[in-house]
Amino acid sequence: MTASYDIICAGMALVDSIIKGFDPNPISASGFRAQSSALNAGGEAINESVAAAKLGMKTAILCALGNDVAGDLVFHYLEQNGVDTKLILRSEDHQTPVTTMFVNDDGTRKSITNKAHNYNWHPENYLSALPDTRALILGSLFRAPFDDPDIIYAVVSAAKNAGLIVLADTKLPNFHFLNLTDIKDSLPLLDYITPNEDEARYYSGKEDPEDMADVFLNYGVKNVIIKLGSKGCLLKNEAGLIRLPAHPINAVDATGAGDNFVAGFMSELLRGKKPDEALAFANICGAICTSAVGAGTALKNREQVLGYLQ
């Protein structure tokens, strides 16, 4: 029997207000200029679900949106990109978060969040689709709603009981500050964890990426992938280490690169590829994402990625 979904992405959904080329020198008492500005649906679960759908996966998203203009923007964006929206919760109780992002010429960025990002809804109450799914991606581990140890454990344990592959993508905390010990019961249930270098350094307390990975492995995570930006990526498990350099590309905006990476990795894993093959594919997905402004702009389909690989 074919599963209804290949992947469910769960986590925060929001709108990114992306400002590129901000000039800090005012042109008037309260006026500033920038090279460009744009509104895009964002958040790890959004970016990962859209990328997975573009790569040919039957993808759904479990997230909460406000009944507001920002929520409508996100909802229609998901529909337009082939993501199943049946699991989305719309509510009058909170606003859809809007993140302001300042993108530098080299693709690096800084973001501003607000109290709307701290809406801790309860995904553990809406997991009926898990038994008919192949994999679960937790977007934004350590941020709402996955900044509560009980919520994290309830979701990942339900996913493992249903036989799913479970991957947790991480973020630095912004409201609630958990450490690895706080979620020690959940970490052995994770098949993959995918921090970037800054996140891995923060949670492990180590400086060398291989040492960072060892900390997560010692907590029971089965496979650790660390996204190293311009230095590539690595995957470490009890069998050994795989390390890949970054794919050369003209980067203009790194927003969502890690999310495209995660979607690419999981999509190839579900196609039966070996971890090293999936990692190489993911590496290209992340690189392609950086070649245009916005997390969901540059990646088009699986054939595009295979063309880069060849």
d(CA 182, CA 126): 24
| Of 296 and 6, the one with more pLDDT | 6
pLDDT exceeds cutoff 60 at 66: yes
Query: Per the structure block, which two tokens stand in for 233?
Result: 């990526």
Please give the pLDDT value at position 239.
94
Q: Is the dihedral of CA 80, 133, 273, 245 positive or negative?
A: positive
Please give the pLDDT value at position 1.
57
Q: Residue type for 227, please? A: K
Rg, C-alpha atoms of the chain: 18
Query: Per the structure block, which two tokens stand in for 195?
Result: 């921090």
Residue in the structure block whose two tokens are 């759904």? 60
pLDDT digits (tens, 9 = 90+) for 228-246: 988 999 999 999 999 999 8
Out of 108-112, 181-185, 189-193, 223-227, pick the least confident.
Answer: 108-112
Please give the pLDDT value at position 78.
98
Please, are residues 89 and 121 in contact by the beta-carbon 8 Å criterion?
yes
pLDDT exceeds cutoff 80 at 294: no
pLDDT classification of 130: cutoffs 50, 70, 90: very high
CATH top-level class of 5-21+35-309: alpha beta
Q: How many CB atoms lie within 10 A of CB 171?
A: 21
Please, are residues 31 and 63 in contact by the beta-carbon 8 Å criterion?
no
First CA to last CA distance, the chain:
34
- Which residues does 297 contact at the CB level (< 8 Å), separation at least 6? 40, 289
Mean predicted confidence (pLDDT) in 159-185: 96
The CA-based angle 85-173-97, given to 5 degrees, is 40
**Average of per-residue pLDDT values in the chain:** 94
pLDDT digits (tens, 9 = 90+) for 31-64: 999 999 988 898 999 999 999 999 999 999 999 9
Q: How many CB atoms lie within 10 A of CB 197?
A: 17
Domain boundaries, the chain: 5-21+35-309
pLDDT digits (tens, 9 = 90+) for 208-218: 999 999 999 99
| Of 195 and 23, the one with more pLDDT | 195
pLDDT digits (tens, 9 = 90+) for 89-109: 998 888 999 999 898 877 677
Q: Percent of the chain scored above 70 by pLDDT?
A: 99
